[in-house]
Every structure is written in C-alpha cells, then in structure tokens.
Chains A and B, each alone.
Chain A
Amino acid sequence: MKKTLFLAAAIGFAGLPVNADERVAVIRDDIVKKECGACHMAFQPQFLPASSWRTIMEGLTDHFGEDASLDEETARHITGYLAGNAGRSRGAKTAIRITELGWFVHEHNDEVSPRARKKAGTMANCTACHRGAEKGYYDDD
C-alpha cells in the first residue's frame, strides 16, 4: 500500500487513503452497499474524487451501457455518502473509471497475468482477484 501511495503521489492522480492497518475503509452505509453492490461490488468512495462520483450519479440512466437508475431520494442519499467520503482530486479531468486511473493502470499492467485477467472478465471485477476487496484489503494476494 505504501508503494501505491507513493506512486499515486508521484503520478499525480487521486491517491489512495488507507487506514492505520493499511486497508481502504469499508463502506458503512447499507443503502450504498445494497444499491451500488447489485451488479458489481460496491467500490469504496476513496477510489474517486467527489466530482467523479457526482458525474457518475448524474448519469445512472446510461451507466456504462446500462440503466442503473434510482429514485431521487435514494440517489441523493448515495451521492451524499460517496462525495462525503471521496478521495482527493488531483487530475484535471473527471475520471469515471477507477480502472483507468494512472495508479491503477501502473499497479496492474505488469502484475496481472493474462489468465487472471481473462478469468475476471473485466478489471472492474475487483473481487475476482482481491478476495478481501469488499473488506478493503487489496494487498493480500
């Protein structure tokens, strides 16, 4: 994780805030867990800055090629949680994919075997490779 933090800082993208015990803080909101964890694991808000979460939440009717729309009240609640626990913003442009951030690409390019990648189907399927991802552990493998 220290390496990641260093890289993130060096490259200048949103960094990865971690706990003292070196894991990403888990999501503590049941609505976020349920609604944003239905089609993929609910990604921890620290992975993207607030502006990214707002952009994502405004575009739910066409969410990466799918309708993931929510009623207004639920959406407002989720936006509040994600933006309130978001990572710091470093880059100029608003990324909507964690998997396209500089540190992510750097961290995964050489480390991931083609076989593991194929099995996961998509790099957004964090839990396929990081079994502890939902609990915030990413350096356990």
Chain B
Amino acid sequence: MKLSFAPLAAALFLTAIAPASAGPDQDSVLTYFQQRADSAASPERGKSLFEARHGGGKPQTPSCTSCHGGTPSETGKTRAGKEIAPMALSRTPQRFSDLKKVEKWFRRNCNSVLGRECTAQEKSDFLAFMMSQ
C-alpha cells in the first residue's frame, strides 16, 4: 500500500487542531473545505468570523452570535425562540458530521449575516475553530 504525502499531512494537521472530539465524519467534512481553501485552516480567523459584527447581511442578524450565543459553548436561540445546541464540538458531538447539512447552513447563515456565501477558506477556519472548542 502506498501512502501519498497529502492525506498524511492533512491527517497530522487535523489531529493538531481538532484533537479531542473530532471523529472521522468531522475530519472528512473539514478536509473537504480545506482542500478547496488557499491556506491552512486558522482557528483564530474562525473565531473572528464567529464574533465579528458584519455589514451587508440582513439587519436582524449582524453576527453569527446573533443566534449561536456569545461563545461556542453557549446554547443559542433562533429569532423565533427555539434553542440551538452549542456549536462547540466538545459540547455537541454530532456537529459538523454531515457535509450536506453543513453546506446548507453555511449557505443560509452566511447569506443572512454577510449578504454573500462564505468562501471555502472562511468555512474551514470556522470549522477548525468550532472543532477546537
């Protein structure tokens, strides 16, 4: 069996940023975005994306934190009053395991908050941050 370098590097990289709770499903979701991004995923940039107040989106939702709670480990709330389980992977272990679900919500929420789709870079930064939490 031949091991090429790229997946090995990706695997090492994933263990480095998401050691505790990420399973194989989360790894493959993160790898999917990572392969489409320009540079390595940065949890720090993911944190800023999560916390920042953005312009350009819908006035009701200036930030990811408008719904997801002030920190990744907090329970959030939709505008219609329904609770959202924490985004931190350590708090909600089922998170980020289904690529279709992840893509659907990135499309919607980036549109609502930023008024545009997020880039693959932004998505992998965001996921790296949440998986490290």
Contacts and interface: CB of A to CB of B under 8 A. Distances in A.
A66 interface: yes
Q: Is the interface of A mostly helix, strand, loop or mixed?
A: loop
A125 B107 CA distance: 25
Contacts of B60: 65-66
Given A65-B60, A66-B60, A66-B61, A125 B80 contact: yes
Contact of A124 (B58, B59, B80): B80
Interface residues of B, number: 15
A120 B108 contact: no
A65 B59 contact: yes
A125 B82 contact: yes
Nearest to A124: B80
B107 A39 contact: no
Contacts of B24: none
B80 A122 contact: yes
A19 B104 CA distance: 36
Nearest to A39: B78
B97 interface: no
Interface string B81-99: 1100000000000000000
Interface residues of A, number: 20
B109 interface: yes
Contacts of A67: 58, 107-109, 111-112
A47 to B, nearest CB: 15
B2 interface: no
A129 to B, nearest CB: 11
A41 interface: yes
Nearest to B113: A67
A119 B44 CA distance: 36
A65 B78 contact: no
A40 B58 contact: no
Q: Which of B104, B107, B108 is most buried by chain A, counting CB atoms within 10 A of its CB?
A: B108
Nearest to B59: A65
B80 A69 contact: no
The 10 A-B residue pairs whose C-beta atoms are closest, nearest first, are: A125-B81, A40-B80, A67-B111, A67-B108, A121-B81, A39-B78, A65-B60, A67-B112, A65-B58, A124-B80
